[in-house]
Amino acid sequence: MEHVMFVINNAPEQDTPARPERDALKEWLDEVAPVRRYGARLRPPADSTVVRVRGGDVVVTSGPFAEADEWIGGFDVLDVPDIDQAVELAAHHPGAEGGRVEVRASWPFDEEA
């Protein structure tokens, strides 16, 4: 089943991760390569763009929508048989140390409840 991992940072926003962190990430990507469908690192919230429709008007503002101590730094979509495997791989992600990784199963549109 498809699980999406959100990598949540609580460190100050940075432009570039330090070298050791990048190495750890590379290792992790190698490990999950067989089950990883897609994923990405994300630009920091300061670079986000927020879209709302109000009374038919499109309102575009520069993000972030609200100041937050934590922010999503990236995500990964994994195809694993159960939550135990998703948790095991999440625990290996370098972002789990210090930060948090939130795992949620995807919810197909044709599935109720």
Partner 1 sequence: MAEPTDLVAVRAALERAHRDEWAVVFGTMVRLTGDWSLAEDCAQDAFVLALRAWQRDGLPRNPGAWLVTAARNRAIDVLRRRRTEQSRVEEAGRLVVPETAEDDERLRLVFTCCHPALPMEGRIALTLRAVMGLTTAEIARLFLVSEATVSQRILRAKQKIAHAGIPYRVPPPGLREERLGGVLAVVYLVFTEAYAPSNGAVVRDDLAGEAIRLARLLVAEHPADAEARGLLALLLLQWSRRAARFDEHWDTVLLEDQDRSAWDRAAIEEGQALARSALSEGDGWYALQAALAAQHARAATAADTDWAMVVHLYDRLLAVRPSPVVRLNRAVAMAMRDGPEAGLAALDDLGRPKELDGSHLLSAVRGELLRRAGRRDEALRATRAARELVRSPAEARLLDRRISELAGTAQPETSLSANRAQAASRKTTT
Shortest reach from residue 111's CB to partner 1, in Å: 9
Q: Which amino acid is at 57?
A: D
Asked if 82 touches partner 1 (CB under 8 A), the answer is: yes
Among residues 59 and 105, whose Cβ is nearest to partner 1?
105
Q: Within 1-113, where are the H helices?
A: 19-32, 83-92
Distance between CA atoms of residues 89 and 36, nearest Å: 10
Give the residue from 64, 75, 88, 85 showing the smallest Cα distance to 9. 75
Asked if 86 touches partner 1 (CB under 8 A), the answer is: yes
Asked if 108 touches partner 1 (CB under 8 A), the answer is: no
Residues that bind partner 1 (CB under 8 A): 1, 3, 81-84, 86-87, 103-105, 107, 113
